[in-house]
Structure 1
Amino acid sequence: MQTSSLAALKEHALHCARSAGKLSLARMSEPFTVEYKTSASDLVTAVDKEVEKHVIDLILAQYPDHGILGEERTFAGDPSQYETLWVIDPIDGTTNFVHQQINFSVSIAVYHKGEGLVGAVYDPSRDELFYAVKGEGAFLNDRPLRLERHVRLEEALLCTSVFWNKRAEQMGIDQIVKKLAGKVRGMRLLGSAALEMAYVAAGRLDGYVSLSLNAWDFGAGRIIVEEAGGRVTSMAGTPLPFDQKSSVMACNPAFYEELQHYLNLSESHG
């Protein structure tokens, strides 16, 4: 893809992220309906759906021949039929949006033939925009992000959602991560995978581990972490897909091998 068109893609992705964040903040102060998806802990709001439609309209107005893979599935086409695919989560961290009004984000990524070109994660409550363009580095607002500090695993601050995952319990991974928690400096859970991965890129967290994320949860964060110099793979060490569910391990490169070895998962678990 040409540099000029890549720059245009970046600018439009950032515009979409900021616009979506502004809309979510505006709606947060108004009454909105909350529904369950699969359980009482799996929420969706009318705002999620409205924001996703808003982003899709913005994308298609500029790029009518692009496909869109979004969490709320409001795009009419088949995402697999498009060479250029926008992977979007209108509100990543809906439970936080409903309960806390912080720690949620807009996640927007652009992939061309499976290759990540642009990633943007916007935290509207703090007005922090994390973004990256392939080959051009990662940024927080306009400050470059680079993981240059050598962090040992025992010095690391990690983030994970594994403790609350039933499949992790069935596989015994929760016990592995509990042992890991005793080895590292600390463990956190923010409740927005996109934001947690962006924090890894910014050095606020040193690593993030999840057993199962959707493509729209990690699509943008993956690009940002990689462009900041971090490592992102499945927990089994295999490359992440761009349009399918996967486990995710994103971290400072200094302890990637040690963390991956510690988790000690087979390919089939990734």
Structure 2
Amino acid sequence: MLARRCALSAGKLIEEMLVHPLEVMYKTSSSDLVTSVDRAVEQMVIDEIFKVYPDHGILGEEGLVACEPSKFETVWMIDPIDGTTNFVHQRQNYCVSIAAYHRGVCEVGVVYDPTRQELFYAERGGGIFLNDAPLRVKRNKEMKEALISTSLFWNRRAMKNGLSEKAQRLAHRARGVRIYGVAALELAYVAAGRLDAYISPGLNAWDLGAGRLLVEESGCKISTIEGKELPFAERTSVLAANPNIYDFLLEFLTEYTV
């Protein structure tokens, strides 16, 4: 699978580049970072894809290729380093995310954590795998046992519409709440059963590009926070959860939300 090869090659390139000092730059703010590694990895993945599929579209976080997704039958979504802030500060808790969409449907999704050498991948209809071992999620999860990850707490929109407050109340209904700051990996963890839910008020297409298929193939549920189908190539809210607690979370998050 090309996506898997690209993800593993990206991991090797990251390791090689970390030998040298990081060049860190701001994009829109001091908390919106990009490094020379992000750009080098995205360019490498683009080059590998174009060698095989020169007529495909590519939508990458760093925008190294201009792409209007609606003009291509097949579009690749690339996040060269999801969790760049973690990457800069910790050198861990980040990942590479690569997905291939055909006519708006994700057919292949790969999320690779180079520091743990964990490769999560799925092809539509084929299940989800971690380093070639199939994964299955337990379906008898209860809210009191649930470990939830979310980015609702500091989001301005979530504060205005009450979702941030709901997240605080939700923490008392679950076993625990975590904040990792790396959406693609958090979605992979839901698919793997390491997390029971992930909630975000806003993700870009490349953030959830691969993770949504991992969640779907695991048997978990994923939608917008309002319960709608996730759009293609657009920024959106996300609720991904174990199927046994999804309905509760959906109702909890949407009740009385403005």
- TM-score (structure 2 length as normaliser): 0.97
Q: Is the 8 A contact 1:235 1:265 kept in 2?
A: no
Q: Quick check: 212-221 or 256-265, which moved more? A: 256-265
1:229 to 206, 213, 219: 219
- Cα displacement (A) at 1:81: 1.1
CA-to-aligned-CA distance 1:205-256 (integer Å, 9 cap, x gap) = 1100000000100110000011011101000000101200000011100111
**Residues matched between the structures, number:** 258
Which one-letter code corresponds to 1:212 in the other structure? G
Map of 2:40 onto structure 1: 50
* DSSP 3-state at the match of 2:234: coil
Q: Quick check: 139-148 or 215-224, which moved more? A: 139-148
Which one-letter code corresponds to 1:60 in the other structure? F
Map of 1:36 onto structure 2: 26
* Runs of 4+ off more than 2 Å: 76-80
Map of 2:145 onto structure 1: 155
| Matched ranges for 1:256-267 at <5 A | 256-264=246-254
Unaligned runs of 5+ in 2: none
Please say if 1:193 is aligned against 2:183.
yes
CA–CA distance in structure 2, aligned partners of residues 163 and 77 of structure 1: 33
| Matched ranges for 1:63-212 at <5 A | 63-212=53-202
CA–CA distance in structure 1, aligned partners of residues 33 and 182 of structure 2: 13
Identical counterparts, % of pairs = 55
Unaligned runs of 5+ in 1: 1-10
- TM-score (structure 1 length as normaliser): 0.93
CA-to-aligned-CA distance 1:116-167 (integer Å, 9 cap, x gap) = 1000000001100000000000001111111134101121000001111111
- Cα displacement (A) at 1:32: 2.1
Q: Is the 8 A contact 2:98 2:109 kept in 1?
A: yes
- Cα displacement (A) at 1:265: 5.7
- Cα displacement (A) at 1:29: 2.5
CA–CA distance in structure 2, aligned partners of residues 112 and 203 of structure 1: 27
CA-to-aligned-CA distance 1:41-77 (integer Å, 9 cap, x gap) = 1111111111101110000011101100110000134
CA-to-aligned-CA distance 1:69-118 (integer Å, 9 cap, x gap) = 11000013433311000011000000111111111000001100011100
Map of 2:240 onto structure 1: 250
Bigger share in helix: 1
Which one-letter code corresponds to 2:250 in the other structure? Q
Which one-letter code corresponds to 1:166 in the other structure? R
